[in-house]
Amino acid sequence: MARGNAHQLSPVAAYVAERTGSSLSVQQVARLNAIVDARVGTISENEYLAYLQSPAGAADLADLMSAIAVHKTDLFRDEVQLRAYEHSVLRPLVRASTRPLHLWSAGCATGEEVATLLILLSEAGAHAQSTVLGTDISETALRQARELAFHPASLKRVPEAIRQRYFINRGAQVQLVEELRERASFARHNLMDAPYPVSPAGQGFDVVFCRNVLIYFTEAAFDRVVEGLTERLKLGGTLVLSAAEPLLRPKSSLALLKCDEAFFYAKQVPPPPGASLSSGFTPVPRPPLHTPPRPMETPRSAMPATVPSAQTPQRPMLAMQTPQAPMRAVISPPPDDPPSVEARKLFELVLEWAAAGDAELQTEQGLRKCLYLDPHFAQARYLLGVLLEQRGERAEAATEYRRAAAALREGRSRSTPFFLNDERLQVACRIALERLGFR
């Protein structure tokens, strides 16, 4: 079947994009088109579309949706965020509760995140009947996930002591020990479909992980999924998104939880009708974040008068120390100077403003002021691109993504501890450009 521009969606590709909530990249469209061309045969594509929309075509539709899914992952991926989750969310939750905890890994791919969460529960001393549910759109990925067995390369971030304690060699693979495998369950679920899974206790999940999934979604699908995930959390429960997926538009039932190295979202009772999201309504009580403050490294007088000052909390000592992969850069980033230090403080506040419901204009102005203070601040430039993309300013958003990627590629951007590491942020910029149809 002859086609024009690979990014110009055919009727089938448009339907798959709608069913998955994805903003398809050029590569995903080309992959879909190749599969459809091989299956259509003598019938028209519209006839094949009608078949996909019928009960008889469910298996074919599932294959097409699986073909665009991204399943490359590792155990203990995004180690900095996991350390913060373990110390500031999981361990306080375990100390405060004697009941089983129930976690959900939405978009679990081939099971690496499920295994990671089971290990963290065990290390934190959680109740022996605590569980982790893994769901994914791909039945092919789930067949592999159910074994909780992995190629040794997937364990490259796992500390040796943890590997020895929780994995058994099974030929060319290593498998999670049976004691933990019994606490996992798996189900096929499309995040665009209701109803969402229910926790075993029926009272909501304690923690929902949905990382590196929503980055591929359209804005409308992103909002819809966040609402669905939040609805399935118990009050006080925690939503864990990738650092590439911050909520730049406030959700009335979610409060920002920020610690030294990451930020999370806690479900709370929404404010009464007509109340401002920033009017001071009280979140549902939950274990406190244990991040004791330390003295400021730069004088508060250097902070702009219109921006509230913020203390930099001390990095906690965690039970698990996982190595950081070194970044290769063309040049070393310059040493911090007062403007760049202030830019990073302001960047943290921008995320707080956005989550608290302050105006989008204030968020944008805060990001632009960060970039005035430090033009090579890739994290702020990436989020400005996200904001512009949400507003429909595609070309301007693409420019910001390209500038962020260039600053990272050239080693000019300084890292921000609680955001993505440089390597992951480069991937996020590439995905964003593909989402917009730019190279």
- Residue indicated by tokens 């819809």: 224
Least confident of 130-144, 155-169, 324-338, 388-402: 324-338
Cβ 80 vs Cβ 109: under 8 Å: no
2.60.40.10, 3.30.465.10, 1.10.10.10, 1.25.40.10: CATH of 330-435: 1.25.40.10
Handedness of CA 268, 271, 273, 274 (dihedral sign): negative
Helix (H, G, I), strand (E, B) or coil at 330: coil
Inter-residue contact 199 to 104 (CB < 8 Å) = yes
Q: How confident is the model at residue 65 (pLDDT cuts 50, 70, 90)?
A: confident
**Which has more confidence, 215 or 57?**
57
Sheet architecture: strand order including 205-210: 184-188, 131-136, 102-106, 205-210, 233-241, 263-267, 254-258
- E-strand ranges in 177-249 read 184-188, 205-210, 233-241
Report whether 65 contacts 137 (CB < 8 A).
yes
**Closest CA relative to residue 121, chosen from 148, 147, 99:** 99
The DSSP line for 370-430 is HHHH-TT-HHHHHHHHHHHHHTT-HHHHHHHHHHHHHHHHTT-SPP-TTS--HHHHHHHHH
Does 72 or 78 have the greater pLDDT score? 78
pLDDT tens-digit map of 113-128 = 999 999 999 999 999 9
Selection from 1, 27, 29 nearest residue 16 by Cα: 29
Please give the C-alpha separations between residue 157 and each of 114, 140, 199, in angstroms, as whole numbers: 15, 25, 29
Q: Which range is least confidently modeled, 120-134, 271-285, 393-407?
A: 271-285
Q: Are 6 and 28 in contact (CB under 8 A)?
A: no
3-state SS assignment for residue 121: helix
pLDDT > 70? residue 357 = no
The predicted structure's pLDDT at residue 335: 53
Q: Pull the structure tokens for residue 277.
A: 């999201």
Closest to 250 in 3D by CA, of 356, 379, 118: 356
Tell me what pLDDT residue 276 has. Answer: 44
Instruction: Write down the CATH superfamily of domain 79-267.
Output: Vaccinia Virus protein VP39 (3.40.50.150)
Give dist(CA 182, CA 131) in Å, integer. Answer: 9
Given a cut of 90, is residue 106 above it in pLDDT? yes
Q: How confident is the model at residue 71 (pLDDT cuts 50, 70, 90)?
A: low
Residue 3: count of CB within 10 angstroms of its CB: 13
Separation CA 133–CA 201 (nearest Å): 12
Question: In which band, very low, low, confident or very high, does the pLDDT at 439 lie, cut at 50, 70 and 90?
Answer: low
Indicate the domain borders of the chain: 11-68, 79-267, 330-435
